[in-house]
């Protein structure tokens, strides 16, 4: 089980890098699941971007879809670092994107 804070290196020119504004972040985990790296090449050819990778063990942390207005999935739990008066950047950017798309 992965439990606690782990580093995540963000790929340049991705939604994740734009949202966080830096190359290295630390996010909290509490799960037993990992992305199967055997499928990385195949999914990358179909448009999936692996925008966040754990630099210590090459685990996929964040995925995006290249041609989607705002599709971003994480293996970590952004809600662990979010507060009503200080939302996690992923949540606030998602809401902003939804409002832009709605109008």
What are the chain's domains?
2-102 (3.40.50.880)
DSSP the chain: -EEEEEEEEEPTTSHHHHHH-SSEEEEEEEES----GGGHHHHHHTTEEEEEE-TTT--EEEEEETTSSS-EEESS-GGGG-BTTB--HHHHHHHHHHHHHH-
The pLDDT-based confidence of 96 (bands split at 50, 70, 90) is: very high
Mean pLDDT of 49-65: 97
Mean pLDDT of 74-85: 93
Asked whether residue 10 carries a pLDDT value surpassing 90, the answer given is yes
Mean pLDDT of 14-39: 96
Establish how many alpha carbons lie within 13 A of residue 40's alpha carbon, considering only the half-sphere containing its beta carbon.
15
Q: How much is the mean pLDDT over the chain?
A: 94
């Amino acid at each position: 089980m992965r439990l606690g804070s782990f580093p995540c290196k963000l790929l340049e020119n991705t939604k994740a890098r734009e949202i966080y504004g830096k190359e290295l972040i630390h996010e909290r985990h509490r799960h037993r699941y990992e992305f199967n790296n055997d499928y990385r090449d195949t999914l990358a050819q179909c448009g999936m971007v692996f925008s966040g990778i754990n630099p210590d063990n090459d685990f996929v942390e964040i995925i995006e879809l290249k041609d989607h207005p705002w599709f971003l999935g994480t293996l970590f739990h952004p809600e662990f670092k979010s507060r009503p008066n200080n939302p996690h950047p992923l949540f606030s950017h998602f809401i902003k994107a939804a409002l832009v798309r709605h109008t």
